[in-house]
Structure 1
Amino acid sequence: MAKSSRFSAKAVQRLLLHLLCLVPAAWLFYLSATDGLGANPAEALLRSLGDWAIRFICFALAVTPLRQWLRWNGLAAYRRMLGLYAFFYASLHWLAYVVFDMGVDWPAIVDDLIKRPFILVGTLAWLILLALAITSVPRIIRRMGGKRWQMLHRAVYGAAALAVLHFWWMRSGKNNFAEVWLYGLILAGLLAARWVFQKRKQMQAAAKAARV
């Protein structure tokens, strides 16, 4: 009975997290339907979806440091979900670019990728997230094995760096870097936290081996 209630509590937690993760998409859909996105709704939607994509990358990368600091191993179960929502919002961002910005004109899109490097960088970040999303299927995880899967999924840091570069390049024309610096510092802090914990783990392992 206790085991059943524990499973049901976890299911409720996952459902609540799914609902929270979908709130930004629902809100943007509502604003789109009610003309609440301002004078240039297509651009506002495109930018907002990009903002949420990079936020969810930060949320996903924050899980491991928080789990280690709080000693709450249950948090690890939500990292993959948050990463998939990062891919979800990045995909909506890219789709908004293709549909609203470029009118699904593929030759023009290819030309734009060549002419505007920040579009290419953003697309590369999305392709990395796509690869990580595909390999997050349980069957593929089992086939790859835990170590190989973990090594591949470290590429999320590359996607994060490319996302920040994409954001910086996009903002460079307006000389408005406040948000870019914020996300850059958050990601740098998360990387530093990962490095500190890895070093601490190595030192503890070395000390344990020395005592044997």
Structure 2
Amino acid sequence: MAARSAAPARPRRRPQPRWIAAKTLVHLLALVPAGVLGWRVLDAFQGGDALGADPVAAITHFTGLWALRMLLVSLAITPLRRLTGWPGWVRFRRMLGLYAFFYASLHFATYLFLDLGGLWAQILEDLTTRSYIIVGFGAWLILLALASTSTTRAIRRLGRRWAQLHRLVYVAAVLAVLHFVWLVKADLREPALYAAILAVLFGIRIWYRLRAAKAAKAAPRRASASQPLKRGA
């Protein structure tokens, strides 16, 4: 029997120029806060007051705030796709999630090395006694797991379990907001704003889920109603 000819390899689709430009723009916008922080740190080294009277607290707040913002923006991608009907939004979700992890890691590193100076005994004590540290560390651990499984290879290997794992991003967002609320304690207006944004995102998701469940439940009824009645023998 003659050997079968090998199937030709499917040519890789080249990224469209518009997609490359959009991706580059998102990268640049996501790196703007890092650039601003770098400028402020440089100014502080030169004797300026861009970081205020407490530079470590300013860096900690800045990086934590942008980690939360990036996380909420990444969660807003699915509602934007559903509200606008444009599927292209999904292409930016993984990228924004990785930037959320990037700023969260800067936030955590600032706490470890600039705030506590690498004193591991104090770090372990904080991680077991302070509620806002515990939930913040939990959010970072979840983002670490999601970032480490965001490669194409990991997606293929995990299959359906990948989507189940990455639903934990909503848990990370709740923990991040709780971390902010418990950290501030006094003036809750700013953390309350982010909590409200997260609640709206949850509300949109729940509304679409309920609508989809209602449509799926009504589909068999419409199908049976559209069938003609059988004539008697």
> Normalising by structure 2, what TM-score?
0.85
Of 187, 195, 202, which residue of structure 2 is paired with 1:184?
195
Report the structure, 1 or 2, having the larger helix content. 1
Of 21, 28, 42, which residue of structure 2 is paired with 1:33?
42
Shift of 1:198: 1.2
Match of 1:210 in 2: 221
Shift of 1:114: 2.3
Match of 1:156 in 2: 169
Alignment of 1:96-107 (within 5 A): 96-107=110-121
Match of 1:95 in 2: 109
Shift of 1:150: 1.3
Equivalent position SS for 2:92 = helix
- Deviation digits for residues 5-37 of structure 1 (CA, Å, limit 9, x no counterpart): x61210111011001000001101101101211
- Deviation digits for residues 110-150 of structure 1 (CA, Å, limit 9, x no counterpart): 122223221121111100000011111110101111x3211
RMSD: 1.3
Match of 2:18 in 1: 9
- Deviation digits for residues 39-77 of structure 1 (CA, Å, limit 9, x no counterpart): 111110011100001111110111101110000111011
Match of 1:18 in 2: 27
Amino acid in structure 1 at the alignment position of 2:77: V
Match of 1:194 in 2: 205
% of aligned pairs identical?
Answer: 47
Distance 1:144 1:90 in 2: 25
Q: Which structure has the larger Rg? A: 2
Distance 2:214 2:91 in 1: 26
Match of 1:74 in 2: 88
Higher-RCO chain (CA-CA 8 Å, sequence separation at least 6): 1
Listed as ranges, the gaps of 5+ residues in structure 1 are none
Distance 1:211 1:148 in 2: 33
> Normalising by structure 1, what TM-score?
0.93
1:42 pairs with 2:51: no
Match of 1:171 in 2: 184
